[in-house]
């Protein structure tokens, strides 16, 4: 698999390293960027049409977005027929991250993250599956 798709394998490795850096490094809560995000969310939350926007909701959505590439990349590497293996990899990676985070003082291990990360993996799998299906339904050009 890796020999047939070296670029895709390299991109997947870089993606995994980035996710590892984002999720497994200490995260001080009082950083300027974190405060900025909280201020923006608070400002958006003040308006009636966007009062549903909360920090927890933004964080949940960000976790989904962060794991969409997990579903995309591993489904492309392993094939659409092995979507279940991609799902297992996504769940395993999330459990591993959450387990390690429980030992990092400034990180929190949460079931919510397991749900959002798995959902992101499923979305990535779905994107590949729908794309493959759409491509198969288009008649070949002559």
Contact 127/68 with Cβ under 8 angstroms? yes
At 29 the pLDDT is 62
Cβ-proximal residues to 114 (8 Å cutoff; 6+ apart), any chain? 91, 94, 95, 98
Q: Over its length of 142 residues, how does the chain's per-residue pLDDT go in tens digits?
A: 556 788 999 999 999 999 999 999 887 665 666 778 778 888 888 888 888 888 888 889 999 999 999 999 999 999 999 999 999 999 999 999 999 999 998 888 899 999 999 999 999 999 999 999 888 887 766 6
- Residue spans of the domains in the chain: they are 6-137
At 42 the pLDDT is 85
């Amino acid at each position: 698999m890796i020999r047939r798709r070296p670029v895709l394998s390299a991109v997947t490795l870089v993606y995994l390293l980035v996710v590892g850096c984002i999720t497994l490094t200490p995260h001080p809560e009082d950083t300027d960027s974190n405060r900025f995000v909280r201020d923006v969310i608070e400002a958006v939350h003040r308006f009636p049409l966007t009062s549903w926007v909360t920090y927890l909701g933004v964080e949940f959505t960000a976790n989904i977005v962060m794991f969409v590439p997990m579903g995309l990349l591993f489904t492309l590497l392993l094939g659409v027929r092995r979507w279940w293996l991609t799902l297992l990899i996504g769940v395993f990676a999330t459990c591993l991250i959450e387990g390690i985070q429980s030992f990092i003082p400034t990180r929190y291990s949460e079931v919510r993250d397991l749900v959002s990360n798995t959902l992101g993996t499923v979305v990535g799998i779905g994107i590949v599956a729908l794309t493959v299906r759409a491509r198969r339904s288009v008649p070949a050009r002559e």
